[in-house]
Amino acid sequence: MRRLELAIAGLLACSAVASIAFVVIYDSGADTQGLGIALGAALAFLAAALLIASRKLFLSTPVAEERPEFAQPPEDPGFTVGPAAEEAEELAGEIESPAEAITRRRLLVAAAGAAGTALGAALVVPAASLGPSLDDRLHRSPWRTGVRLVDEDDQPIAPAMIGERGFVTAFPEGVDKRELAAPLIVMHLNPSSLDLPAGREGWAPQGLVAYSKICTHAGCAVSIPRSPLYPDQAPRPALVCPCHYSTFDPAKGADVIFGPAGRALPQLPLSIGSDGTLVAAGELSGDVGPAWRGTRGVT
């Protein structure tokens, strides 16, 4: 017993030393690893002391304690309706008895219910202050005919900047880049490989295609210019969203070829301006981003 007490005292002393070490480390540069080890050790030694004390220092034998009696349903074998159930009946009576003198009980309950419901509804309505009115904001896009495409550093984009298999992220000139409809993927494809939907003739000068960069599944940025398979296994260029791996075919109007996305990425018709840089030749072919009840441009 004496040795046990000494061992516990030793652990407590170690804990104290580790706590002091924590303060010292904090004061001399506060190295994160040092702080973690010191504080962890201080707590662990103290834990060991208490756990050993609880197991060895105090003599204990299992103790049986009666549970409080709860009311039992009569059909339950082995139990009977005891005093607990009677007490519940009495409580119910005590709550109800003052109302016995009331004659138009149903009317009062209905009126109180109406008042409560109406008040509840009234109190919920201010939640509408949380946001602006929905109006047409989810349909809005800064892309119009003649809007110039610029890169992340606001530089105009020339076709030569775009490699054969890669892509460039483009934004409308002079618009907040964080706007959901702003970012585009511009890719350079072999014009003979293009198989765009009907009505999009002339949207891809020199094989340059532009699609919204925001995935139509869950709104992440489509940032992988290939299939999730390694490039040498990929049959053709693809656009992949890294959140849930929706995969789009840029040669076919960004049709979904794999993954959970329910519709193609909206496409922007391009043209090459007089200075040789890219400009929009129209509006996006549909709404940008994850679907909602009013999503337009679903093909």
Partner 1 sequence: MSPERAVERRGGLTQRAVRWVDDRTGSASGIRKVLRYVFPDHWTFLFGEIALYSFVVLVATGIFLTFFFEPSTAKTTYHGAYAPLEGATVSKAFASAMNLSFDVRGGLLMRQTHHWAALVFVAAITVHLMRIFFTGAFRKPRDINYYVGLTMLMLVIVEGYAGYSLLDDLLSGMGLAIGNAVALSFPIFGADLSNLIWDGQFPGSDAFASRLFIAHVLIFPVLIATLLTIHLILVALPHHTQFAGPGKTERNAVGTPLWPVYAFRSIGLLLAVSAVLFTLGGLVQINPIWQWGPYDPFRSTNAAQPDWYLGWLIGALRLMPPLEIRAFGSTLVPNPFFGGALFPMLLFAFLYAWPALERRITGDRGLHNLLERPRDNPLRTAVGSAVLTFCLIVFFAGSSDRIFLQFGIPYEGQVVVLRVVVLVAPVLVFFAVKRTCEELRRGESHPLRDFPGRVVRRTPGGGYEPEP
Identity of residue 32? T
- Per CB under 8 A, which region of 46-54, 142-150, 158-166, 277-285 contacts partner 1? 46-54
Among 143, 167, 172, 183, binds partner 1 (CB under 8 A): 183
Among 131, 160, 199, 235, binds partner 1 (CB under 8 A): 131
Instruction: Give yes or no for residue 198 binding partner 1 (CB under 8 A).
Output: no
CA distance 120 to 116: 6
Interactions with partner 1, residue window 87-116 (CB under 8 A): none
CA distance 33 to 16: 19
Instruction: Give yes or no for residue 224 binding partner 1 (CB under 8 A).
Output: yes
Instruction: Give yes or no for residue 125 binding partner 1 (CB under 8 A).
Output: no
- Per CB under 8 A, which region of 30-38, 96-104, 106-114, 201-209 contacts partner 1? 30-38
Burial of 209: CB neighbours in 10 Å, binned 0-12, 13-18, 19+: buried
Check if the beta carbon of residue 269 is closer than 8 Å to that of residue 127: no
Check if the beta carbon of residue 183 is closer than 8 Å to that of residue 193: no
CA distance 29 to 27: 6
Q: To the nearest whole angstrom, how small is the minimum distance from the Cβ of residue 29 to partner 1? A: 8
Interactions with partner 1, residue window 51-80 (CB under 8 A): 51, 53-55, 58, 60, 62-68, 70, 72-73, 75-79
Q: Which is nearer to partner 1, 216 or 270 (CB)?
A: 216
CA distance 70 to 76: 13
